[in-house]
A and B are shown apart, each in its own frame.
Chain A
Amino acid sequence: MSLRGKAAITGYAEMAPQKRPEGKTSLGIMAEMAREAIADAGLEKSEIDGLLTACSLSDFSMLWPSAVVEYLHLKPRYFDQVELGGASSAGMVWRAAAAIEAGMCNTVLCVVGDTWDSRLFMAKPPPFPATEAEFDAPYGMVGANPGYALIAQRHMHEFGTTPEQLAKVAVDQRTNGCANPQALFGDKRITIDDVLSSRMIAEPLHLLEIVSPATGGGAFIVTSADRARHSPNRPVYLLGAGEAGEHSSITRAPNMTHSLVKPAADHAFAMAGVSREQIDFIQPYDCYTITVLVTIEDAGFCAKGAGGRFIEEHDLTWSGDFPCNTHGGQLSFGQPGMAGGMSHVIEGVRQLMDRGGERQVDGATIGYVNGNGGIMAEQCGLILGVEA
């Protein structure tokens, strides 16, 4: 048994990220996103009998799924939270499909919202594992900047990856962001020089290679393939999914440059029965430029270590030969806390529904989405397509 073609995403909603909460709360954002996604899927609230959510970083607490159920007055037969950091939203897609296929429910609302900013991270950080607080934090391994910088440094050492190659990820994604009216940083294009002359934060990573925290959220609806046929939108089917984990702190990863994107992607592609050549676009989680480069390699779009040259030789913009993060990625769209990984799922769905507007990838029928949490610690690969 596999989940291939068993369920589809039939509607979505997405908030334009903003720098400050401006009076909004995470639960309030989730409720707005739920309202819009349910309407987009042509459903009534009463038809939602499943809920998957992720706890916002700004209001991190226990009993979160119940809090969401209460706020929205839902009556789910299946509800849970997915806590895989930035991979949470991608992880919701196959869990929803599995719950539907198992007969637990018919239609699942997947929703995340967050009011996140960098001041909050310093003043009220979400609790990290005690082992990291004890053995990493005293040395300044706090947050994500040092961990991803370590990966980039080691990748450069092993494979000769250059700062210019990394910077091109941010440049191409900014071009995509400029075609996305919802992007937080979509006003003007940038050059490789702009990236490399931006402030050095954690060597070798510059300011423009690092996501900016934001307030935002998104939601999507997963239902059975049968029900999806009545959707007002073109159903986007889950064709394959794969997950992998092995460490939390990057210090304890068996290998810093060879990530768990590989086993997750291999599983997803095998389930889908799809080859890398059939993929029309990729939406890889991008907290940093290096994250995209490593994902391109480990998802199998080029040989290990050849990611730098691949990025140099391919056009990652929406109209290019390798469309990547066509919404601008979090680097240009913004990173609304725990909802950041939602943007990659929604953009994949948007493209396959042919609702990409100015940045629509012509004739896109199959896409690859990757969710990544922590410091390359949680990986969830998805293959989405327009035919079951």
Chain B
Amino acid sequence: MSNQATAFPRPVPAITDVSRPYWQAAREHRLEVQRCDDCNEWIFYPRQVCSECLSSALSWRQVSGLGTVYSYTVMHVPPHPGLADDLPLIVAVVKLDEGPQLTTNIVGCEPENMVVDMPVTVYFDDIDESITLVKFKPL
């Protein structure tokens, strides 16, 4: 397994100019999401235009980091060879209290204690010297 992990690096975000503020905020352990100044819709993932009204007037807003587990799965087989050492891996979709949904991992919770709709709070995982992943842990 460890050979596999060496051969295949873990998947990391390929950051763009559009998304850099999101990842930079995460690096500083703040969760920021775009909001449209024209129609007030929360936008996630980061975009150049609002996906609802197509306005370009998007602002970064810090959000609470609170949400609920909309659904989750415990992966018993690595979904990617670079994640072979992370099993069992809890892949989840968290719905933020503000509305947007994120793909994430739940940490600090045994798989058997996972429940749909459980409340969670953001956990910033500094996986290397430049990338911080936005994960969640039980509240």
Contact = CB atoms under 8 A, between A and B. Distances in A.
B71 A146 contact: no
A140 B89 contact: yes
Contacts of A201: 75-77
A136 B103 contact: yes
Nearest to B117: A157
Interface residues of A, number: 34
B102 A135 contact: yes
Nearest to A145: B79
Contacts of A136: 103
B102 A140 contact: no
Given A134-B45, A136-B103, A140-B80, A202 B71 contact: no
A156 to B, nearest CB: 8
B85 to A, nearest CB: 12
Contact of B116 (A131, A157, A251): A157
A141 B79 contact: yes
A138 interface: yes
Interface in A325-361: none
A138 B71 contact: no
A145 B92 CA distance: 13
Interface in B31-79: 45, 70-79
Interface stretch (A24-32, A68-76, A100-108, A147-155): A147-155
Contact of A153 (B71, B75, B76, B102): B71
B86 interface: yes
A270 interface: no
Contacts of A139: 91, 103-105, 133, 135
Contact of B101 (A157, A204, A251): A251
B40 to A, nearest CB: 18
A233 interface: no
Contact of B103 (A199, A204, A249): A249
B116 to A, nearest CB: 4
B13 A203 contact: no
Interface in A241-286: 249-252, 256
A133 B14 contact: yes
Residue among A130, A138, A140 with max Cβ neighbours from chain B (10 Å) = A140
A200 interface: yes
A143 B19 contact: no
A131 B45 contact: yes
B75 A202 contact: yes
Interface string A118-144: 000010000000110111111111110
A157 B91 CA distance: 16
A337 B133 CA distance: 32
A146 B79 contact: yes
Contacts of A251: 93, 101-103
A249 B104 CA distance: 13
B70 A133 contact: no
Q: Which 3 A-B pairs have the closest CB atoms?
A: A149-B73, A154-B71, A157-B116
Given A141-B91, A146-B79, A201-B76, 13 more contacts: A122-B8, A134-B45, A135-B45, A139-B133, A145-B77, A149-B73, A150-B91, A150-B92, A153-B72, A202-B79, A203-B76, A256-B70, A256-B93
